[in-house]
Amino acid sequence: MALGTQEIVNKLWNLCNVLRDDGITYHQYLNELTYILFLKMAEETGEEKNIPDGYRWSDIKDLEGIELSNAYRQLLLDLGKKGHGKVKEIYTNAQTSIKEPANLRKIIKHIDELDWYSAREEGLGEMYEGLLEKNASEKKSGAGQYFTPRPLINVMVRLLDPKVGERLNDPACGTYGFMIAAYHYIEKNNDIYELSEQDANFLVHEQFSGCELVDDTHRLALMNAFLHGLSGNIVNGDSLSSMGEQFKNYDLVLANPPFGTKKGGERPTRTDLVYPTSNKQLNFLQAIYRSLHQRGGARAAVVLPDNVLFEDGDGQRIRQDLMEKCDLHTILRLPTGIFYAQGVKTNVLFFERGKTDKGNTEEVWFYDLRTNMPSFGKRNPFTEKHFVDFEKAYNAEDRTKVKDERWSCISREEIAKKNDSLDLGLIADESISKAEDLGEPIDIAKDALKELEAIQKELNAIIGELG
């Protein structure tokens, strides 16, 4: 991120301190900021045509006190009904949490005084992504659940290599990070200005799509797309409901679907899943590989937890179905704690839909980026450099010639012998082997622990008698 953009991001984020006295959370603040920023951005980009007169930036920026507060509340209410296109979507059910008019005035004044010339030059979309990243990294916001780390997104996009004219989708799109990264990748690898009018229109209006269940997050996704000049279809709804059956015929899917089970153990209401289950990630996996077309070359990269790799019953049947219908060619075992609660173990599954529904997976290549890895955090950030060796192995012309202990191949026959478990490909853990090397000292420590436990029992008995 350019220095000017970073400075604006920091200033905007620090405005959150103004709202602390109003009891507003970080996540509420980002939504509030989105409502106000959208008006300013529309003015800066000359895109006010979809905002009715009387509801534009120039109409509220000089108001104060209760007049400002009333006008702002009315604006939120009316734009959700009277706005056009994306404006109406962004302001649907919009409500303000700001109680103190002086705080609202302060935010509008600060936004108006920022260096918008620099922001436009460096990219308004980049600035907004910076705010989303700030929100995700702030633990109190709880936003990390839908924000996949940028280094991981970039690597997944790069390896799937999206092309102009392909249809992309993310069925659990959060703030639209995967689709924005794919757009950046296409922009970087093509001369956008040399595209035909048809390709250019497709790129902006149809190439990228997504679905997001949470209203506020959907709003952030719409804003993110708007600031990048994209107007693809971002649906507000549940991909695992019957509505999700419309998502099909894609060339490429990138996703980090939510983990866990549906409330009350409910199963999805989609009718096109062969093995509906209460496990959300297993349902998303089915929905994703079914959404890829069968003309050849349709591919996906999906972040999934370890239980998808080994769960019995429906889990096993879904893995079998996946390996029949698709070539599951690569599984990346990710380090723990990079974006979920510490200890949650995740993977990226890379697969390509076959032209037929039988026997597409002959072997699976595994890369272990988990074992004997450092602990990641603010002091030791997880960056793209950690993927360099994996990318070399993934892209190798002859994968069998790659010399890397983390890289291994297991045949479909071997996987079948293990009850179709894919919880494979991990190398020896040095910490375990070091403990084994200690031998006798560990036995001594165990004996000492037993003695301490015996002493503790005696003390407890004495205390009981005294009591």
pLDDT at residue 201 greater than cutoff 90? yes
pLDDT at residue 437 greater than cutoff 50? no
> CB–CB of 369/332 below 8 Å?
yes
Lowest mean pLDDT among 77-86, 227-236, 361-370, 407-416: 77-86
According to DSSP, the β-strands at 363-368 and 299-305 are: unpaired
The residue with greater pLDDT, 377 or 263, is: 377
Phi-psi category of residue 115: left, alpha or beta, with phi > 0 → left and psi -120 to 50 → alpha? beta
Q: Report the mean per-residue pLDDT for the chain.
A: 87
Class for domain 145-417, per CATH? alpha beta
Lowest mean pLDDT among 47-56, 306-315, 316-325: 47-56
Position 6 confidence tier, pLDDT thresholds 50, 70, 90? confident
Lowest mean pLDDT among 39-43, 183-187, 294-298, 385-389: 39-43
Which CATH topology does 3-134 take?
A: Ferritin (1.20.1260)
Residue range 53-76: mean pLDDT, rounded = 94
Residue range 36-56: mean pLDDT, rounded = 88
Residue 262 has a pLDDT of: 61
Residue 436 has a pLDDT of: 42
pLDDT at residue 343 greater than cutoff 80? no
Residue range 114-120: mean pLDDT, rounded = 77
Burial level of 146, CB count in 10 A (0-12/13-18/19+)? buried
Position 269 confidence tier, pLDDT thresholds 50, 70, 90? confident
In terms of average pLDDT, the best of 9-18, 109-118, 252-261, 287-296 is: 287-296
Q: What is the DSSP letter of 381?
A: -
Residue 353 has a pLDDT of: 98
Q: What is the DSSP letter of 292?
A: B
Residue range 95-115, pLDDT digits in tens = 898 888 988 998 899 888 887
Position 7 confidence tier, pLDDT thresholds 50, 70, 90? confident
Residue 169: φ, ψ to 5°? -150, 150
Position 404 confidence tier, pLDDT thresholds 50, 70, 90? very high
Q: Residue 44, SS3?
A: helix
